[in-house]
Amino acid sequence: MRPDPLDSSKLAGQRVGWRAALPVNHHQGDARLARIIVVGSIARDEVIRLSEPLRGGAHLNGMTAPARLGGGGANTAVALAAAGHQVILLAAVGRDTAGDGLLADLAAAGVATASISRLARPTTHSWLLLDPTGERTVINVARCEEDAPPSRLLDLPADAVYVRSRRRDLAPLLAAKAADALVVAHAPPIEPGARPAHVVVASRSDLEPGALRFPQVLGNTISDGLARWTVITDGAAGARAFGGGETLAVSAPTIRPVDTTGAGDAFAAGLLHALVQGRPMAEALTVAVRFGTEATLWPTSGLPVEAVHRLLREV
């Protein structure tokens, strides 16, 4: 039988399964450092801040800002490293100056970059259109991805794995990893068996309205029955988690977003940070929403380290 990482939190006072392996973090009292592998993209994000709402066919005014580190994998990895975890990012960048710069940024943020492939193709590049409400529209103009799934995942010891990738061929790797690590996966892909994970996370904005009628069925289908929780993030409305007949809802504080880029990635970092400490989903969801909302207050794609340190004192 598979170990059940999330159920182990119910065994009061006991540390079992993958949690037994977590080293104590001496810097943060009771908090525990974990070895976390993040599978996802690294991108060079270029931003245009629009002075009016985005409208197809219009002639709009905007301001550019310097390119910055982004991509779903990088954003979550940076926040988890700032929270004190040992983070390995599994991704690819090009053998170009953009790739050099992003790798240097990641290393400076404390993310382990040795498992990042360098490919003979351009580094992933996105344009972000930011409207005056801080909401972002992402346009991918180059995607740097390995041809084969990153099987080196199986050789890396981990307490937890987080996946934010649309590639369809990761399922066997995640299923193998789920035997001894907590696996959290972002969807899409929305396909049966595509993400064998203990926790499936999806953003409402990425889903067809119909998919949300039975979120737990969605999580079950995507995870091949492995998911204990299906978590749906919902921007300014916060997030909900559905598991075993239970529904948890956490609303987000009302704020004025500066830049919503990476909100879902910061949410994932908060969720993982709390779950690897053995906190129950009700608490983890609250931490995750706080991380997500914080991300919208900064003109960056990932959470700045000082923001993470402040969050750690509050949650």
Binding segment (CB under 6 A) for ligand ADP, from list 93-101, 103-111, 189-197, 257-265: 257-265
235 binds Mg ion (CB under 5 A): yes
| CB half-sphere exposure, 223, CA atoms < 13 A | 26
Contact 288, 267 (CB under 8 A): yes
Largest CA distance in the chain: 61
Residue from the set 17, 70, 196, 264 that interacts with ligand ADP by CB under 6 A: 264
234 binds ligand ADP (CB under 6 A): yes
Pick the closer one to ligand ADP by CB: 103 or 268: 268
298 binds ligand ADP (CB under 6 A): no
233 binds ligand ADP (CB under 6 A): yes
Contact 48, 174 (CB under 8 A): no
Integer angstrom CA distances of residue 72 from 44, 146, 176, 265: 11, 16, 23, 6
165 binds ligand ADP (CB under 6 A): no
Cβ neighbourhood burial of 23 (10 Å; 0-12, 13-18, 19+): exposed
296 binds ligand ADP (CB under 6 A): yes
Residue from the set 83, 292, 298, 303 that interacts with ligand ADP by CB under 6 A: 292
Give me the helix-helix angle, 281-295 and 263-276, nearest 10°.
Answer: 150
Total number of residues that touch ligand ADP (CB under 6 A) = 19
Residue from the set 9, 113, 223, 260 that interacts with ligand ADP by CB under 6 A: 260
Residue number closest to Mg ion, CB atom: 235
Write down the least CB distance from residue 126 to ligand ADP, Å: 13
Cβ neighbourhood burial of 292 (10 Å; 0-12, 13-18, 19+): buried
Contact 158, 102 (CB under 8 A): no
Q: Compute the distance between CA of residue 38 and CA of residue 87 in angstroms, rounded to an integer.
A: 7
Partner interacting with residue 233 (select from Mg ion, ligand ADP, none; CB below 5-8 Å by kind) = ligand ADP
Which positions lie near ligand ADP, rule CB under 6 A?
203, 205, 233-236, 238-239, 252, 255, 257, 260, 263-264, 267, 289, 292-293, 296
Binding site for Mg ion (CB under 5 A): 235
